[in-house]
Structure formats: structure tokens, C-alpha cells
Amino acid sequence: MIPHPTLHWNEILAAYADGEFEGRDDLAILKQRVEDWLARHPEAVQELAQLRQLKAAWQESTPDEPAPAAWQRIVQALAKSPNRATRPRRPWKRGAVVAAALAACVVAGVAIWSTRFRGAVEPAPAPVAVADDEPLPVAAAHEVEILRVEGADTQTLVVGALPVQGPLELAGPGEVTVTSVQPAVRDNMMPEVRTQGPGRPMIWARLDTD
Amino acid sequence: MACGTALALPSDEQLLACWQEGRREALEELFRRYRLVAYRVAYRLLGNEADALDAVQEAFVKALTHLSGFQGLSSFKTWLLRVVSNAALDFGRQRGRREMLSMDMFGPAQREGLEPLVQAEPTRELERADLRRLLVEALDQLPPAQRQTFVLHAEAELSYREVADVLGISIGTVMSRLYYARQKLRALLESWTKNR
């Protein structure tokens, strides 16, 4: 299991309760963090207990196994179903395929001949005009599942794949020159400016600005 | 993979190879291995025994006649459970789950005269049936995707990675769906647990 960058703490706690961190060396640090968190937060311990209570209720209500006669009925039905992998070969099938291919070639040839030499090409249908403000349905309501809307996303809800996956590099190394650095108003601290390596200056552009 | 002659404990892949060579006993062994987990997944999604059995039968038929869709990227079990859960959701959509829930009020044994294998103490059994029905009703209120994700994890005991592979979604989405499913189930079960 690889932690998702936008996971809620409760989701990580649920993964811990589900044993997803067990036997995973790569998640040992995360597991330790969860346990440290539990040691400091009684409400988290209560949350963990509720998760385990739900799991216990689920297991307690496990459906009983059906009677053997019910299984037997299904086995008999399965035995009657065709086994496509063992279906006998049909020697006539190859001939039929060849005949169909030849027929398709003849039809295509006639179509090309009639188009080139008769010159009677029907005009293409006129495109249907679509008003600029007419919505174009791309998915029905039941085909979209919104799992979470939070923060700035509430202003711009995006349904579907994002146009850009991962970081969008606006300028490369050497294309940015830092001409002046001002101390922060809040604490009067000067930022540390790195010009080399992965910590080089970054430009953040707000999409809603001019 | 070739079909062995007399393997003590053949793998799923060996059984599939045997079945493709026409050996029906391989199909029976595959069915025996996964019938119970398939049934329980279907039951949780449908809420009654008769429809769960129908869904299991249909899923096995679908799985075995469309083996080309099984590319060996996941285990046969996880692939089969995907087929089973999809078949069960289709059943639910076609027949209307409310009607099925009312059918299950009397329990499975009374409907077809089939006695369950384990006959527990009557009071305890009633309590379990009550809880089971409550969970089915609670699950029914979840969106199908959340319901399927939760059941595959909780009933089939698939790991997050396996659920993600089965449904073709990310692990983060699995965790989100499980979170919201649990939130809803807990709220619905709260009254039940208080009254115990």
C-alpha cells in the first residue's frame, strides 16, 4: 500500500486497523507514526476501537453456508455450460472467412470504381449547428462519483482527469534571475534563496489571475 | 500452463489448463475452492440466499466462458471476485433490492427448505440474522462503487492493493471509498450496537 498524498488521517488509521502496514518494511515509519499518534490522542484510540467494533459486527453477521444441495445444483448447471476452450474446430470456418474477405474486396472495388468513374458523388451532409452555450453532456450523473470536495476545489470542481498531471515546469534552471529579496512582513525573516539543485526558485501561478 | 495428470494440490492455473483440456473435475475443484467466498460477496451485495446463488452461478459461467479476459495479471481468485461482484450488482439493479430484502425477513432456511450447515442457538441466530439484515440495508444505501469496494475488502478479505487491482482504481480511491462506507455503516449501526 502506498499512502496517497491527500489521504485523511482517519483513512490512514483505518488502513492501520485493517493490518495494511503489517509486514511492510516500506511502511514501517508510517506505522510507527500512527502508533505514536495513538499514544498521544485518546480520541484516536476511540476511533480505532469503533473501527474494530464494526469489523467484529461484520464478521459476526457472516452469511451461513448454503446447503450442499444448492452447491450441487450450480455444479450441474456449470457442467452443462459450454467450454469454449474445448469447442471442436470447425474446418469450414477458415473457408468462410476467406470467402467473406473476397466478397468484401469485390464490394470495395465496385464502390471505388463507381466513385471515381461515375463522378456522381453525393454531397456530404451539412454539419449540425450547435449553439455556443449549449451544454455538451459528457457523462450521466450516475457515472460520476464525487468522493471529496474541499478547500479551493469548492470553487472549481473538476470532473474527470486533470489537464496536467504532476508538476508543471514553467521555467528551467538558468531562466530565472532573482534580482531582489524582501524580508517577510510577518516575521521580518529573509528567505533562503537556492539557485542550484532541486531547491531552485519556483514560480507559482494562480490560474484565476490575469 | 500444461495440465498435469495427478497433482496433489494443483494451482488455479493448472486447474484452468485442465478444464480447458476438457476435464470437468478441474472445474468442480475450482468451484469448490471459491464458491463460499463468492457466495458471501454476492450475499452481502444482494441480501438473500437465492439471488446470491444465482449470481454465483452466473458469475462462474461468465468467468469460465470468458477466460480470455483473465490475462493472469492478478490471481484467478481476485479476477473471479470481480466478476462475481459485478454480476451481483447487475442482479441488484435488475430485480430491485427492496423486494429482495423483504424476501429475506424469514431467513434462508424457511424459503426453500434448505437447512444451513451450522444451526446455532435460536436466539443467537435471530440476533445474527437481525444484524445481517441491518448491514444489508445499510449497504444498500451506499453508492454501488462504495458498496462493491467495501464488500470486496471486508468479506473477501482482499488487501487494498488487491481491491485496487480488481476494480482498476488507485489505492487512494480504495481508502476513500472504505472511509465513506464505514462512516455511513457506523452511523446506521449505532442504534443497533446501543441496544445490544
pLDDT tens-digit map of B119-162: 455 677 777 888 888 888 888 889 999 999 999 999 999 999 99
pLDDT score at A127? 53
* Mean pLDDT along residues B8-14: 84
Neighboring chain A residues of B175 at a CB cutoff of 8 Å: 4, 7, 11-12, 14-15
Q: How many CB atoms lie within 10 A of CB A7?
A: 16
pLDDT score at A119? 46
Q: Name, of A143-152, B100-109, B178-187, the range with top average pLDDT.
A: B178-187
pLDDT at residue A70 tops 60: yes
By CB atoms closer than 10 A (0-12, 13-18, 19+), residue B114 is middle
B194 in any annotated domain: no
* Mean pLDDT along residues A53-58: 89
pLDDT score at A92? 44
Say which residue, A119 or B150, is predicted with more confidence.
B150
A36 in any annotated domain: yes
pLDDT score at B83? 93
Which CATH number fits the domain that encloses residue B97? 1.10.1740.10
The average confidence (pLDDT) of chain B is: 81
pLDDT score at B117? 40
pLDDT score at A89? 41
Partner-chain contact B61 A145, CB within 8 Å: no
Q: Which domain holds residue A22?
A: 9-60
* Mean pLDDT along residues B162-187: 91
Q: Which of A108-112, A169-173, A176-180 has the lowest mean pLDDT?
A: A108-112
* Mean pLDDT along residues A105-124: 56
- A14 to chain B: closest CA residue: B179
Total domain count, chain A: 1
* Mean pLDDT along residues A141-149: 69
Tell me what percent of the residues of chain B surpass a pLDDT of 90: 39
- The C-alpha cell 444484524 sits at B131
Q: Which of A10-14, A38-42, A109-113, A201-205 has the lowest mean pLDDT?
A: A201-205
Q: Which domain holds residue B88?
A: 12-114+121-189
Say which residue, A176 or B136, is predicted with more confidence.
B136
Q: Which of A90-94, B31-35, B114-118 has the lowest mean pLDDT?
A: B114-118
pLDDT at residue A97 tops 80: no
Between residues 144 and 183 of chain B, which touch chain A (CB distance below 8 Å)? Answer: 145, 153-155, 159-161, 170-173, 175-180, 182
User: Which element (helix H / strand E) includes B20?
Assistant: helix B12-20
**pLDDT grade for A108, boundaries at 50, 70 and 90:** low
Total domain count, chain B: 1
Give the Cα separation of A16 and A35 in Å (integer).
9
- Among residues B74, B70, B97, the alpha carbon closest in space to that of B152 is found at B74
ipTM: 0.78
pLDDT at residue A160 tops 90: no
The shortest CB-CB distance from A71 to any of B35, B61, B128 is to: B35
pLDDT at residue B108 tops 50: no
Query: Which three cell numbers, joined as nine digits, stand for A37?
Result: 499518534
**pLDDT grade for B87, boundaries at 50, 70 and 90:** very high
B172 in any annotated domain: yes
B128 in any annotated domain: yes
pLDDT at residue A85 tops 60: no
Report long-range pairs for B11-19 (Cβ below 8 Å, ≥24 apart): B12/B75, B12/B76, B12/B77, B13/B72, B13/B76, B16/B67, B16/B70, B16/B76, B19/A83, B19/A85, B19/B64
Mutate to test the interface with B, among A61, A73, A162 (most CBs of B within 10 A): A61
B195 in any annotated domain: no
Give the Cα separation of A178 and A171 in Å (integer).
13
Type of residue numbered A115 = T
A32 in any annotated domain: yes
Contact yes or no for A43/A50 (Cβ under 8 A): no
A55 in any annotated domain: yes
One-character DSSP codes across A146-208: -----GGGGTS---SS-SS-S----S-TTS---------TTT-PPPPP--SGGG-------TT
Q: Which of A108-122, B2-16, B142-156 has the lowest mean pLDDT?
A: A108-122
SS3 of A56-89: HHHHHCCCCCCCHHHHHHHHHHHHHCCCHHHCCC
pLDDT at residue A194 tops 70: no
pLDDT score at A71? 93
| Collapsed DSSP state (helix, strand, coil) of residue B134 | helix
pLDDT at residue A90 tops 70: no
Q: Which residues have a Cβ under 8 Å from the Cβ of B134 and sit 6 or more positions away?
A: B188, B189, B192
Partner-chain contact A54 B186, CB within 8 Å: yes
A155 in any annotated domain: no
Min CA distance, A24 vs chain B (Å)?
13
pLDDT score at B51? 92
pLDDT at residue B115 tops 90: no
